[in-house]
Amino acid sequence: MSGLTATVLSAAEQPDYWLQLCPRMSISDLPFAKAISPYRIDDHARDQSVKNIIEEGYFRLPPTVLEEDCERLAEAIRNVTDAGFPAPFALIYDEFWQLFANLSEIAKPLLGSKIRISPGDLWAWNVGPSGSSQGWAPHRDLTDPDSLQPDGRPKHLTLWIPFTDATAMNGCMYVLPTHLDPNVPGNLKSRDIAPEQFQSIRALTVDAGAILGWNSRILHWGSKSTRYAKQARINVALYLMHDDGTLNYGVEMLPQQPVPFWYRVGAIAGAMRLFQDSPLSGELHYQPELVAFAKKFLDRLQG
């Protein structure tokens, strides 16, 4: 990631900069208004995903996001990172928020009919073919023992969507299924794996447009890429929550729900602050000028 000049950061305070950077993308105050094509899966896949996440802590679905959507979203992330910004700044564009809303139909059998998205927990990656590029270290999204509904379905769900093929060479996800993890449910703060658990680890290699999902208990991580990888691993992850009526945070993905430009930049800034210097993310370090740029929007969001 190259240095960002004061001129660029000043221009980046306005949507026009981002629209020129990615002419095929859009920015509006009501991104969900155009989310009119929810992704749907057949009854068998739906029932299997529920069964899998209850029994093993995760599920996977075959390519569901349209190929042309994957290509356009991957291009946006490339353009943003080529311009010197961290990949999550691509989440400024409407099309990512529309993707998230379109995924909500897949999440409803797992979370229930009322779902919220946590804007401060969104992230995007562009893991290049290099021996120094990698996903995040082994972790659980939450260590709260009260993270499941009474029937075993999750209260919190992570969805992970690759826009390029995720392979063992470019940093695919790995998981230790919850039913094979001796630390679940009684010792969720531990990430230790005994040698006898190594053979229980699963590599989740998936094609572009596939959908991975997991609960907050499962131990998971992104692997290290290699210079022999054929392409970068480009993907996003989002965090959805079961809304039991007591949630006082998160965004409802409704057509009339505003998510303006400044709010999105503030949410990205919040995620940057959350994950910066985290051992899980490989100690992300940001240019001080970028941190100052982002802080202005975060301060407004937290106002």
Q: Which token pair is 128?
A: 């290049």
Q: Determine the 3-state secondary structure of 97 from DSSP.
A: helix
In which residue are the tokens 């992570």 written?
A: 158
**Helices first, then strands: H and E counts in the chain:** 7, 10
In which residue are the tokens 């210079």 written?
A: 227
Output phi, psi for 158, to 5 deg.
Answer: -100, 130
Tell me the β-bridge partners of 143. none
In which residue are the tokens 């809304």 written?
A: 243
Contact 236, 122 (CB under 8 A): yes
Q: Determine the 3-state secondary structure of 46 from DSSP.
A: helix
Instruction: Name the CA dihedral angle for 219, 279, 172, 208, rounded to a multiple of 10 degrees.
Output: 110
Q: Which token pair is 300?
A: 């407004």
In which residue are the tokens 């991104």 written?
A: 31
Q: Which token pair is 2?
A: 């190259």
Q: Which token pair is 228?
A: 């022999």
63 DSSP assignment: S
Contact 91, 269 (CB under 8 A): no
Q: State the DSSP H helix or E strand holding residue 126, giving kind and residue range, or none if neither.
A: strand 123-127
* Domain carrying residue 220: 6-302
**Residue 131: what pLDDT?**
74
**Residue 36: what pLDDT?**
74
User: How far apart (Å, rounded) are the C-alpha atoms in residues 149 and 139?
Assistant: 21
Is 70 among the domain residues? Answer: yes
**Residue 136: what pLDDT?**
87
Q: Which token pair is 172?
A: 């695919």
263-298 burial, b if ≥16 CB within 10 A, otherwise e?
bbbbbbbbbbeebeeeebbbeeebbeebeebbeebb
* Structure confidence by residue, pLDDT tens digits, 234-286: 999 999 999 876 666 899 999 999 999 999 999 999 999 887 766 665 557 78
- pLDDT less than 70: residues of the chain: 1-2, 245-248, 277-283
**Residue 74: what pLDDT?**
99
Q: Which token pair is 92?
A: 């400024």
Residue 185: closest CA among 138, 222, 133, 148 = 148
Is 1 among the domain residues? Answer: no
Q: Which token pair is 148?
A: 């499941």
Residue 225 belongs to a domain with what CATH number? 2.60.120.620
User: How far apart (Å, rounded) are the C-alpha atoms in residues 205 and 209?
Assistant: 12
User: How far apart (Å, rounded) are the C-alpha atoms in residues 159 and 65?
Assistant: 13
The tally of domains found in the chain comes to: 1
